Structure 1
Amino acid sequence: MTGGRDNDSKGPNGATGPSTSYGQHIQWVLQHHKRLQHLTKTNESDAAVTLQGDQLTLADLVAASQYKVRCQVTKDKSVLDTVDASVSFLARQLEEGVEIYGINTGFGGSADTRTSQTVDLQKSLVQSLQTGILLPSEVGVGSEEEEAMSGRRHSLPRRTVRGAMAGRCNSLLRGHSAVRQEVIETMVQMLNDDLIPVVPLRGSISASGDLMPLAYIAGSLEGNPGIYISCPTKDGRKILPSNEAFHQAGITPLTLGPKEGLGIANGTIVSGAVAALGLHETQYLALLTQALTGMCTEAMRGTVDNQHPFIAAARPHVGQIEAAANITRFLRGSKFATTSHLLGAKTGGLAQDRYALRTASQWIAPYLEDLQLAAQQLETELNSTTDNPLIDVQNGHVHHGGNFQATSVTSATEKTRLSLQMLGKLMFAQSSELINPMLNGDLPPNLSFDDPSLSFTFKGIDINMAAYMSELGFLANPVSSHVQSAEMHNQAVNSLALISARYTLDAVEVVSMMASAHLYACCQALDLQAMHDTIRETIQSATKGTIRDLFQPLLDKNELEEVVSITSKAIGHGLKEAKTKDLQDQSAAAADATIAPLFAVFSNIDKSDEVKTKLFTGITAWKDQCAKFVASSVTNTRLLFASSAETITPTYLSHGSKKLYHFVRNELQVPLHKGLVEHPTTDTPSAEGIKVDAGDRYLIGKQISTIYHALRSGRIHDVLVESLL
């Protein structure tokens, strides 16, 4: 649906809809966002994720895993009958003495063994796979000292395990795995009671599915006391052996029937769930990158023309057309972003914006397209049977294949992680330009609100961004190129999907940090640009009054206007050139910058020698008064913005920036950073008399952390979507 040219288009989850002016990627996000809101924000008591084998969306999985939305097994009789039929078919095959892999044979490279003890064989399977490493503290029997030995946890996050359980139930309901309804219903009950097995983080190569982690879920269903479950209590959470957890919850442990251990363990859903959670956040980070490009364009007084539709149409990649349109919509109504090229007005300084702004839509474009394909791949995977062997009841066959090879998940995660690296690189480039006084135009060094000799506000953020970018660049390396042969060379090729998905979540974390810091910097820069305009207007008014007082008897109206224009420009140029100096020196430099232009204009005016002498003599008085009113203009404006920036700045902003700025300043209560007076141990007011109450002084990192939490929790998603529409 790029540019509104298609009459009937399909998003990655197959939904059709009427044509709009929105591109394919943002339409997918809107549909995903709407579904997630329905499941998580409505007051409907019956809001639930229905599992039926072929309709599970990424939003459903995220709702069930991250937001703990209730799951329910479909009541569709045809679906449930198919599940029962697969169990009955397998039982008949065993009665007839049919040899079936993993049911009465060994596994993998040991499939040359045979047994008639089918129930014990399933126990043997999960026993051989429950080999992961967990710290004692992670299973409730140790202290935090053990955890400190490694510096990080060895277990999967609970939300990931929730997603894996929901997704595995969905796959088993397809009726190809001969797993009983009772097993599926028990797993769903565990989800809804928030009884989540403790599952090791590492040890899966995602070849015959995610065998090891899923074996821990299978073990919990057995009530295995060696498998632990995280249980909710009135005092928080408690880790219990699964048999005790089941006893407290009133759940009867199960004996896994023929193929049920294999049917649970032989799936790609652990890597699929991690990948889905990573892609979910990445889709919003892709939107945020476009929004931040708009904010940074305003903060740098760049041009909207960078995203002109003619440019995109001349190179009609659907992602580029969409990104350009999204950023343009975001920027509508801005008083900072110009249309200078079309109007022929941008004649000073750079003739065009630097690459981080000018080529943003071209940079973002292919990754919007990649993220759409990744979504298609993962939603297909969520609604697939990733087991072996497969039961084909209708045709009476048992198929031995390799649907558990999770390469499609790996493909999706590698694209997602590379997209994150490229989005992060764009933010890094924009942030560096925004903070660097050599590149940021009229903005002060380090985006400092107060004098630069004792205020280096965003310098540390500039360093942080370099650290984040370096780590992100490392994470972007492909995992799929590191495959090792495994399991008696039976698994000679393996997808490494879970490893890739885990690193993708790490990349999500890093890019979210970068985006939070960049958003904080953009809001600061927008305040400073609004303050700059207010200072400029105040100085211009003072310039006009002072010039008239000093020279009105000597010059006519047109000459006075010319002098006012020349001196105002000179003051602006002087302030910019001296922006690394403190206010008094900067004001003096601004006044000095007007002397040569005044001498030039007075020399060329057709006046008598007597008048010219008076004009030249007046320059000294002008210089003294100019330095004073420049300093007072800056001081008074700083005082004004210290108390009222959040009400003044939005009057300058675009549709999109206004929404994000309001979210940061008003909803999150993250204010304009006022400099050294914000430091928690500083009790001295600034030179202008600005003081911040002790209870309101926070570390810069704390303010960015507030934004980060709002981003990772999804709290920012509504306003982010609205900013681009």
Structure 2
Amino acid sequence: MNQVLLTPGAVCLADWRAIYRGAALSLDPACSAKVAASAAAIARILAKGEPVYGINTGFGKLASVRIEDEDLATLQRNIVLSHAAGTGEPSPVPVIRLMMALKLASLAQGASGVRPETLGLLEAMLAKGLTPVVPCQGSVGASGDLAPLSHMAATMIGVGEIFVGEARLPAAEALAQAGLAPLELGPKEGLALLNGTQFSTANALAGLFEAELLFRSALVTGALSTEAAKGSDTPFDPRIHALRRHRGQIEVADALRALMAGSAIRASHVENDARVQDPYCLRCQPQVMGAALDVLRQAATTLEIEANGVSDNPLIFPEADEALSGGNFHAEPVAFAADMIAMAVCEIGSIAERRLAMLIDPALSGLPAFLTPRPGLNSGFMIPQVTAAALVSENKQRAYPASVDSIPTSANQEDHVSMAAHGARRLIAMAENATAVLGIELLASVQGMEFHKPLASSAPLEAARDLLRGQVPALEDDRHFHPDMEAANALIRSGALAAMADGLLPGVS
């Protein structure tokens, strides 16, 4: 992949996506002057001898405790070690690499008081493939993602563990093997590293990027299901959607119409179909998927702003030698964005499952029961639909908003929190559930189209059918279903299915 040049404060979503997908990165050297000025300001602020939160005081409820100059280095080391209190399974490596890049871009804006060498170590760890082992649980999304970011910061001082490829090594050993020395933290640096929203934001961005792929794939499977059921394309007429004016709805209708254009299957029933209207799962795709698209775009806007912001505390203003305490670490915007993505992912899977249920019901689809040529002897798609129903139900439970909850922490000093971290962390698992639902729908819709041969569909939908049939043959009699499902899921995860309609489908960002 091409290398991303990280320009702090001006990184586009495409670059964050590329980093998540594995692209290398380098920090724009133009930011070095601001970083150096911020670090120098810390020295001048300390020289004043006044108490400044996070630099020469305790933290949280202990902010009134003054720390002497000889203990400042110990103070920063202590906050990293004491706050590295996460639990649970290690977070996925792509998410933590993205988190590190987000933290690097934030610190490099010269408002955090860290030294250039601190940024240099973080950049070198990314370049050399050293990914801290960060437990996935323990953040409430304010005062920043303290526990997860502390686990990252701990590895920078030689404590904890680091993934190097498939190996999981003690941090000091991994740094040494890479020719890197552990960091001696300066004033404010420990706090700057562990304070901020980068863990929540990385997980939310990862969820957004997976949802983008899911959305585009669902438009293809939805069009395939419409073809399999010999549904009408009249509900996709642009005049209908122009009257409602929602951008996403208009674009989805355009995409579905383009996906089905030129289909002989569609043309075959225009004049002689007795059905007046299709079920909502076919007819209302523009309304449901368009609303999901609009919500995902709103979340994308929020996350792009957050990814380019500075969210630690206090913030340093070198021109005035001031350290101002505020609340940029509160991840409420990220929590709301994550909740929106969760709802969109849930609905994408929910309407797909309804299309699947419609296809296996001969009373609704006009196709053989459970899409098997010999129902009774064979169960066909009976149980895959049950699996899809289970996954959709699970996603419904997970879609409950995380942002509406708050449990006070730090002896009520931090009395309202966002819960953004787990609100964002659930998104990849939800997207994986929805991917499996779409995989089953892909299998079912292409199977349904078998019964319309020799009629062909449109060029893009025939390409999608050929893509699947290159991996999975038509279902004549019952066979081990799981491998077919895994093959279909892989086509969705890889982007291969959505790519069959490149240029026809709207983008999230």
Indicate conservation of the 8 Å contact 1:208/1:266, yes or no.
yes
Letter in 1 for 2:483: K
CA contact (8 A) 1:318 1:365 kept: yes
Aligned partners of 2:252 and 2:505 also within 8 Å: no
- Report whether the alignment pairs 1:481 with 2:404: yes
Matched residue SS, 2:472: coil
Return the index of the structure with the highest Cα Rg.
Answer: 1
- Residue 347 and residue 710 in structure 1: after superposition, are their counterparts in 2 closer, same or farther (change >3 A)? closer
> Matched residues in 2 for 1:100 and 1:523: separation?
65
Query: Is residue 298 of structure 1 aligned with residue 227 of structure 2?
Result: yes
| Corresponding residue of 1:376 | 301
Structure 1 residue aligned with 2:343, among 418, 432, 440? 418
Determine whether 1:665 maps to 2:469. yes
Q: Say whether the 8 Å CA contact 1:61–1:273 is kept in structure 2.
A: no
**Partner residue in 1 for 2:369:** 445
Out of 448, 457, 465, the residue aligned to residue 388 of structure 2 is 465
Larger mean CA deviation between 380-389 and 50-59 belongs to: 50-59
Are the structure 2 counterparts of residues 271 and 263 from structure 1 closer, same or farther at C-alpha, using a change threshold of 3 Å? same
Residue number among 248, 256, 273 corresponding to 2:185 in the alignment:
256
**Alpha-carbon deviation of 1:338?**
4.3
- Aligned match of 1:229: 162
Secondary structure of 1:50's counterpart equals strand
* Distance in structure 2 (CA, Å) of the matches to 1:203 and 1:435: 43
Q: Distance in 2 between matches of 1:458 and 1:309?
A: 34
Partner of 1:553: none
> What do the CA deviations read for 1:316-362 (whole angstroms, capped 9, x no partner)?
2212111111111111111112497xx7x3552x2111111111111
Of the three residues 66, 74, 90, the one matched with 1:155 is: 90
Distance, in Å, in 2 between the alignment partners of 1:131 and 1:468 is 32
The 3-state SS of whatever aligns with 1:490 is coil
| Matched pairs, number | 504
Deviations 1:357-384 (A, max 9, x none): 1111112222211111100000101100
CA deviations 1:49-98 (Å, max 9, x no partner) are 1122122233322322332x21111122xx21001000001111101213
Q: Give unmatched runs, 5+ long, in structure 1.
A: 1-39, 41-46, 135-153, 535-650, 680-698
Shift of 1:218: 0.6
**In 2, distance between residues paired with 1:361 and 1:717?**
17
Q: Distance in 2 between matches of 1:525 and 1:251?
A: 58
Once residues 268 and 248 of structure 2 are traced to their aligned partners in structure 1, the CA distance between those partners, rounded to angstroms, is 23
Deviation at 1:701, TM superposition (A): 1.3
Among 112, 119, 123, the residue aligned to 2:64: 112
Aligned mates of 1:720, 1:306 — CA distance in 2: 20
Query: What is the identity, as a one-letter code, of the residue corresponding to 1:131?
Result: A
The match for 2:457 is: 653
Q: 1:724: which partner in 2? A: 505
Residues 53 and 173, structure 1, Cα contact 8 Å, conserved in 2: yes
The match for 2:141 is 206
Matched, 1:705 2:462: no
Distance across 1 between alignment mates of 2:227 and 2:239: 21
Matched-pair contact (CA < 8 Å) for 2:205–2:303:
yes
Which of 313, 319, 335 is residue 394 of structure 1 equivalent to? 319
What is the Cα deviation at residue 715 of structure 1? 4.2
Residue 288 of structure 1: how far off its partner (Å)? 2.1
| Paired residue type of 2:162 | I
Which of the residues 314, 317, 321 maps onto 2:246? 317
| Structure 1 residue identity aligned to 2:11 | L
1:133 aligns with 87
Structure-1-length-normalised TM-score: 0.68
Kept in 2, the 8 Å contact 1:130–1:216? The answer is yes
1:500 corresponds to which of 416, 423, 428: 423
Pairing 1:516–2:439 present: yes
Between the aligned partners of 2:20 and 2:290, the Cα distance in structure 1 is 30
State how 1:357-368 maps to structure 2 within 5 Å: 357-368=282-293
Distance 1:273 1:347 in 2: 49
- Is the contact between residue 304 and residue 339 of structure 1 (CA under 8 Å) also seen in structure 2? no
Give the equivalent residue in structure 2 for 1:427: 352
Find the residue that maps to 2:362 and give its secondary structure.
Answer: coil
Aligned to 2:77: 123
2:371 maps to amino acid:
L
CA distance in 1, matches of 2:193, 2:461: 48
Structure 1 residues 213-292: aligned runs within 5 Å: 213-224=148-159, 227-232=160-165, 237-292=166-221
CA contact (8 A) 2:388 2:437 kept: yes
- Aligned letter for 1:701? H
Deviations along 1:369-421, one digit per CA (max 9) or x if unpaired, are 11111000001011000011111123443211000101111111100000111
Counterpart selection for 1:80 from 10, 26, 32: 32
Q: How does 1:580-619 map to 2 (within 5 A)?
A: none
CA distance in 2 between partners of 1:347 and 1:451 (Å): 25
The 3 A distance-change label for structure 1 pair 339 and 716 is closer
Deviation at 1:723, TM superposition (A): 5.4
For residues 546-579 of structure 1, what are the alpha-carbon distances to aligned partners after superposition, in whole Å with 9 as ceiling and x for unaligned?
xxxxxxxxxxxxxxxxxxxxxxxxxxxxxxxxxx
Does the Cα contact within 8 Å between 2:405 and 2:418 map onto a contact in 1? Answer: no
Is the Cα contact below 8 Å between 1:660 and 1:723 reproduced in 2?
A: no
Higher relative contact order (CA closer than 8 Å, sequence separation 6+) = 2
* Secondary structure of 1:196 counterpart: strand
- Kindly indicate whether the alpha-carbon contact (under 8 Å) linking 1:303 and 1:338 is maintained by their aligned counterparts in 2: no
**Residues 210, 267 of structure 1: 8 Å contact kept:** yes
Q: Distance in 2 between matches of 1:406 and 1:370?
A: 19
Aligned equivalents of 2:48, 2:348: Cα separation in 1: 58
For residues 272 and 236 of structure 2, what CA distance do their matches in structure 1 show? 16
Paired with 1:339 and 1:454, the residues of 2 have a C-alpha distance of 31
Please tell me whether the aligned partners of residues 204 and 211 of structure 1 are also in contact (alpha carbons under 8 angstroms).
Answer: yes
The DSSP-based 3-state class of the residue aligned with 2:316 is strand
CA contact (8 A) 1:57 1:382 kept: no
Alignment-derived partner of residue 120 in structure 2: 185
1:422-445 residue CA offsets vs partner (Å, 9 max, x unmatched):
11111011110011122111x111
For the residue of structure 2 that corresponds to 1:482, the secondary structure is coil
Residue in structure 1 matching 2:5, options 45, 50, 59: 50
Pairwise CA distance, 1:251: 0.6
